[in-house]
Amino acid sequence: MTDQDPHTEHTRKDDKHKASMQKQKAKVDARIAEAKTERGIALLLTGNGKGKSSSAFGMVMRALGYGQRVGVVQFIKGAQLSGEELYLRDHCPQVHFYQMGTGFTWNTQDRSGDISAAEQTWAEAEALLKNPDVALVVLDELTYMIAYQYLDEQRILQAIQNRPSAQSVVVTGRGGGSALQDIMDTVSDVKDVKHAFRAGIKARQGVDY
């Protein structure tokens, strides 16, 4: 048998793969063993790419799968109800869902009206962030409330930091500022590589909303 024998070559590749996987497993196991802190996570999903809110709702699914209690507060309401919103409203009475009553701020063009709606919506968020029975709180599009200065940044940061230790919180939206980033445990910046909308493709049910 020569080295060119396909069977020998196959075995050699298998052995190499196994050795490499063993090395990788040892590394991963060591890193897992290093993570010893058991507490809820503060997560920021930001950036200009698509996938922030839908990712947050993916986490809602994960939490619900384990029978956890979930709160979702949406700070900006589009003209169209999103599929997640319809589903949670109709099929998930265990999810505390609250949506700011106003539309996009560039549609309402009413700063003082927006601010009072933001305050009212924040009160819902604050109550969830004090409730230890709630395992996951999603604050969808909250960053815009900071960017437009509709809500006090310090108040938001403190509520997130003082939440029950086992509770996780997910904030979505573009921007949000460095102070918010600083207090979060995980920050993902979703990059806009391309978006169908710019090729003239209309937003689709079940994909975009």
**What does the binding site for Mg ion look like in residue numbers (CB under 5 A)?**
52-53
How far is it, in rounded angstroms, from Cα 209 to Cα 205?
A: 5
**How many Cβ atoms sit within 10 Å of the Cβ of residue 53?**
19
The contact mask relative to ligand ATP for 54-93 (x = CB under 6 A, - = no) is x---------------------------------------
Q: Which does 153 bind (CB under 5 to 8 A by kind): ligand ATP, Mg ion, none?
A: none
Nearby residues of 200 by Cβ (< 8 Å), 6 or more positions away:
none
Tell me which residues in 9-48 interact with ligand ATP (CB under 6 A). 48
- The stretch among 5-13, 32-40, 52-60, 92-100 that binds ligand ATP (CB under 6 A) is 52-60
- Rg over alpha carbons for the chain, rounded to the nearest Å, is 22
Tell me which residues in 163-182 interact with ligand ATP (CB under 6 A). 172
How far is it, in rounded angstroms, from Cα 169 to Cα 186?
A: 10
Q: Which does 131 bind (CB under 5 to 8 A by kind): ligand ATP, Mg ion, none?
A: none
Minimum distance from residue 138 beta carbon to Mg ion (Å)? 11
Nearer to ligand ATP, 31 or 194 (CB): 194
Q: Which does 87 bind (CB under 5 to 8 A by kind): ligand ATP, Mg ion, none?
A: none
Nearby residues of 155 by Cβ (< 8 Å), 6 or more positions away:
122
- What the block records as the tokens of 9 is 């070559």
How far is it, in rounded angstroms, from Cα 171 to Cα 113?
A: 23
Tell me which residues in 97-156 interact with ligand ATP (CB under 6 A). none
Residue 85, CA distances (Å) to 23, 82, 162, 189, 191 in order: 44, 5, 28, 24, 25
- The stretch among 25-33, 158-166, 175-183, 192-200 that binds ligand ATP (CB under 6 A) is 192-200
Tell me the helices (H) and strands (E) count for the chain, helix number first: 8, 6
Instruction: Give residues in contact with ligand ATP (CB under 6 A).
Output: 48-54, 172, 190, 192, 195, 197, 203, 208-209
